[in-house]
């Protein structure tokens, strides 16, 4: 019995020690990389910031930074080494979150992965400093040659006689002009947006014929990119002069031409639209716009005009690009033909990836450990989900379209970083009625919402409690058997004989009592 007691006690002690080590060595810590810019040209500087997050106070920290030394050159920062590998040793003073920056210079065109590996932090434990492994991180930066400008836009466009219709816009390539019969020449004046671009108007000095005359303006950017603007000039037919009445009519018409606009001139621009009271123009040519990964330019007809749109391979999205009348960069929109309305696309661009915020399919939903909420990301109010676990309050879970597929992504609200999160499983909506909230608030649901460390602590306490109960039972059996062993020769290894001894002793005692009663 003593051997059983010692074995059980030692086993429980070992389990408790192992679980304690596991409990306090597992860390939800992680490393985040941030770049001052994800794409740069040769000769430009790059600042790389490494942020280490932990769930304990750090008093020592070390990691390595790997990079492509043929693309980047390490300039400064608290690191040793070079030639593609840096060694960092830091001494935090009890912080749970620390950041360090390193400067590089772009050497040549290419791409370089920058990785943080072998990251270890030290915390104070019962036996002094204890090392804890922290997850690393990796991201890619792209370096380009000093490129020539690809800007083939016009800054201004006008004519010597008449009026452009519609009004000039750099993204609009087609125009019309109407002039009177007596106008035999219409000069075109064009200025390139890039001072180094070339502008060519081949037929600028050609006489106008009665009817439609087509003129082109070709803009050649410094890198060779070309853009052609087309102007159709209509010279009116000659008016017959049969009588003084006609002469008067002709003069009146001439006067009207001077004082009023031609109906074609006042025609509405088919590419103009109004969104929430603001004027926008649909861009006709998107050749100079960098499209999202997985999207290509396709031509479609919009209000009778052939324009470019961006479409993904599976045609989940058709993206129009619009410019505001107040100026600014072109912005992506989706278009609903049935209601003739444009809606600004909600997305987040991060390094080379773009995440389009989407809605979860109607037949799927999230697990019961998450609740629906909203967050402001990239200036958009986005419907998303958050965890019931308060230790994950900095994270939002969003259904996105990225890199040609839909999936769940996790957004770090503190670091402004989006990451693919395949561990987040969407569940099929069943026809079974949802239980009341009170029914869901069970021990298992609460246990599932705990962090990894908390779960380990609960398991450890449960095992210790079970072991304590087992020890109490063994002590009771030991006490009972010791009392039953009258001669003191009880064999700890012979459980069956011990049990027989107790039964026989009890029987003999009963027989003696009956004999005494008979004698009396």
Judge whether 410 lies within some domain: yes
Are 194 and 173 members of one domain? yes
Are 8 and 111 members of one domain? no
> HEC string of 204-240?
CCCCCCCEEEEEEEEEECCCCCEEEEEEEEEECCCCC
pLDDT in single tens digits along all 520 residues of the chain: 556 556 656 665 655 555 444 443 444 468 988 898 888 888 889 999 999 999 888 999 999 999 999 999 999 999 998 889 999 999 998 898 999 999 999 998 889 999 999 999 998 887 888 888 998 899 999 998 877 788 899 988 988 888 888 888 888 888 999 999 989 999 999 999 888 899 999 988 899 999 999 999 999 998 888 999 999 999 998 876 554 455 555 444 544 444 444 444 445 688 889 888 888 989 888 888 889 989 999 999 998 888 999 999 999 999 999 988 777 788 999 999 888 899 999 999 987 789 999 999 988 888 888 888 988 998 899 999 999 888 888 899 999 999 889 999 999 988 888 998 888 888 887 644 444 444 444 566 566 555 555 667 778 788 888 888 888 887 887 777 776 665 555 555 554 454 444 445 444 545 554 544 545 4
- Residue 88 sits in which domain range? 29-144
SS3 126: coil
User: Who contacts 64 (Cβ-Cβ below 8 Å, separation ≥6)?
Assistant: 85, 86, 87, 88, 116, 117, 118
> Which domain CATH number covers 249?
2.60.40
Number of domains in the chain: 5
Judge whether 265 lies within some domain: no
Judge whether 515 lies within some domain: no
> Which domain CATH number covers 64?
2.60.40.680
Judge whether 445 lies within some domain: no
Are 22 and 40 members of one domain? no
- pTM for this model (two decimals): 0.45
Is 114:138 a contact under the CB 8 Å cutoff? yes
Angle at 395 between CA 438 and CA 399, to 5 degrees: 85
User: Backbone dihedral region of 356: left (phi > 0), alpha (psi from -120 to 50 degrees) or beta?
Assistant: beta
Output the CA–CA distances (angstroms, integers) from residue 18 to 156, 459, 464, 479, in the order listed. Answer: 76, 12, 12, 31
Tokens 């020690």, residue located: 17
């Amino acid at each position: 019995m003593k051997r059983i007691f010692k074995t059980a006690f030692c086993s429980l002690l070992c389990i408790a020690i192992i679980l304690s080590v596991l409990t306090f060595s597992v860390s939800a810590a992680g490393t985040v990389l941030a770049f001052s810019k994800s794409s740069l040209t040769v000769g430009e500087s790059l600042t790389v910031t490494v942020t280490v997050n932990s769930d304990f106070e750090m008093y020592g920290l070390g990691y390595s930074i790997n990079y492509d030394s043929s693309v980047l050159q390490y300039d400064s920062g608290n690191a040793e080494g070079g030639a593609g590998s840096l060694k960092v040793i830091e001494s935090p003073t009890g912080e749970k979150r620390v950041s360090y920056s390193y400067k590089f210079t772009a050497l040549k065109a290419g791409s370089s992965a920058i990785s943080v590996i072998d990251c270890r932090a030290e915390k104070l434990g019962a036996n002094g400093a204890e090392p804890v492994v922290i997850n690393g991180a990796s991201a890619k930066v792209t370096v380009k040659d000093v490129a020539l400008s690809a800007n083939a836009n016009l800054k201004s466009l006008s004519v010597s006689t008449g009026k452009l219709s519609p009004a000039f816009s750099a993204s609009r390539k087609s125009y019309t002009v109407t002039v009177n019969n007596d106008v035999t020449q219409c000069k075109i004046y064009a200025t390139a947006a890039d001072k180094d671009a070339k502008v060519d108007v081949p037929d600028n000095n050609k006489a106008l014929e009665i009817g439609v005359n087509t003129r082109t303006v070709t803009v050649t950017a410094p890198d060779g990119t070309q853009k052609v603007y087309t102007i159709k000039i209509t010279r009116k037919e000659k008016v017959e002069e049969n009588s003084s009445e006609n002469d008067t009519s002709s003069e009146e018409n001439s006067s009207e031409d001077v004082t009023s606009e031609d109906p074609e001139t006042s025609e509405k621009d088919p590419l103009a639209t109004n969104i929430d009271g603001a004027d926008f123009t649909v861009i006709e040519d998107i050749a100079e716009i960098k499209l999202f990964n997985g999207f290509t330019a396709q031509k479609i007809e919009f209000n009778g005009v052939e324009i470019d749109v961006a479409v993904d391979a599976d045609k989940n999205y058709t993206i129009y690009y619009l410019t505001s009348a107040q100026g600014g960069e072109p912005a992506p929109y989706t278009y609903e033909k049935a209601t003739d309305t444009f809606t600004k696309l909600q997305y987040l661009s991060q390094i080379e990836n773009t995440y389009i915020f989407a809605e979860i399919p109607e037949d799927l939903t999230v697990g019961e450990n998450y609740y629906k909420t909203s967050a402001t990301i990239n200036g958009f109010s986005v419907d998303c989900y958050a965890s019931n676990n308060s230790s994950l309050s900095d994270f939002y879970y969003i259904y996105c379209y990225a890199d040609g597929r839909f999936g769940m992504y996790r957004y770090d609200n503190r670091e402004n970083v989006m990451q693919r999160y395949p561990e987040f499983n969407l569940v099929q909506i069943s026809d079974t009625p949802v239980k009341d909230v009170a029914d869901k608030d069970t021990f298992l649901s609460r246990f599932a919402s705990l962090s990894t460390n908390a779960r380990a602590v609960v398991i450890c306490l449960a095992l210790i409690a079970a072991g304590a109960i087992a020890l109490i039972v063994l002590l009771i059996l030991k006490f009972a058997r010791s009392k039953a062993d009258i001669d003191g020769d009880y064999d700890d290894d012979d459980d069956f004989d011990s049990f027989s001894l107790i039964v026989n002793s009890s029987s003999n005692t009963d027989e003696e009592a009956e004999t005494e009663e008979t004698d009396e």
